[in-house]
Amino acid sequence: MRTQRQVVDYALQRRALLAQVYAGRVGTMEVCDANPYLLRAAKFHGEPSEVTCPVCRKEPVTTVSWVYGDELKHASGSARAPEELARMANLFEEFTVYVVEVCRTCGWNHLVLSYVLGSGGLDTPKTRRRTAAE
Ligand SMILES: [Zn+2]
């Protein structure tokens, strides 16, 4: 999405945790603890990914985007489909999106990415055009 900013990638933390799991230092019960709410969100608002579940390797993980922000009021803390995120990015100045991957087979779940969306803080097209013309 073109208004994404303050992107934080959690790939390192994910890899470190998985290394612990593969080494047997962290049990799969501890990391495959997706709660019913998350599984339900994955079913209704999730997007299929091309990443195979790193724990059970039975199916690709589903990614779920959670939105947080004061401006969102009651909608803060809910899961949203990609098309809704695009619409919300135009409606609100600023809100944070947390992308979580979840395996609907074994319950593995981990934060993958977070970023800020919204219409606030962007250069207006007019400013950019003037700069380009000079
Ligand atoms: Zn799995």
Task: Quote the ligand 1 centre to 106 CA distance (angstroms).
Answer: 4
Task: Quote the ligand 1 centre to 56 CA distance (angstroms).
Answer: 4
pLDDT of residue 13: 97
Task: Quote the ligand 1 centre to 64 CA distance (angstroms).
Answer: 15
Task: Quote the ligand 1 centre to 96 CA distance (angstroms).
Answer: 27
Task: Quote the ligand 1 centre to 111 CA distance (angstroms).
Answer: 15
pLDDT tens-digit readout, 85-129: 999 999 999 999 999 999 999 999 999 999 999 998 655 554 444
pLDDT of residue 3: 77
Task: Quote the ligand 1 centre to 76 CA distance (angstroms).
Answer: 28
Task: Quote the ligand 1 centre to 102 CA distance (angstroms).
Answer: 8
Strands (E), the chain: 5-9, 47-52, 60-68, 78-80, 95-102, 109-117
Task: Quote the ligand 1 centre to 59 CA distance (angstroms).
Answer: 7
pLDDT of residue 120: 86
pLDDT of residue 128: 47
Q: List b or e across 41-67, with b for residues whose CB sees 16 or more CB atoms inside 10 angstroms.
A: bbeebbeeeeeebbbeeeeebbbbbbb
- Predicted TM-score (pTM) of the model is 0.85
Identify whether the C-beta of residue 118 lies closer than 8 Å to the C-beta of residue 3.
yes
- Residues paired with 79 in a beta bridge: 66
pLDDT of residue 45: 94
pLDDT of residue 127: 46
Residue 31: half-sphere exposure toward Cβ, Cα within 13 Å: 24
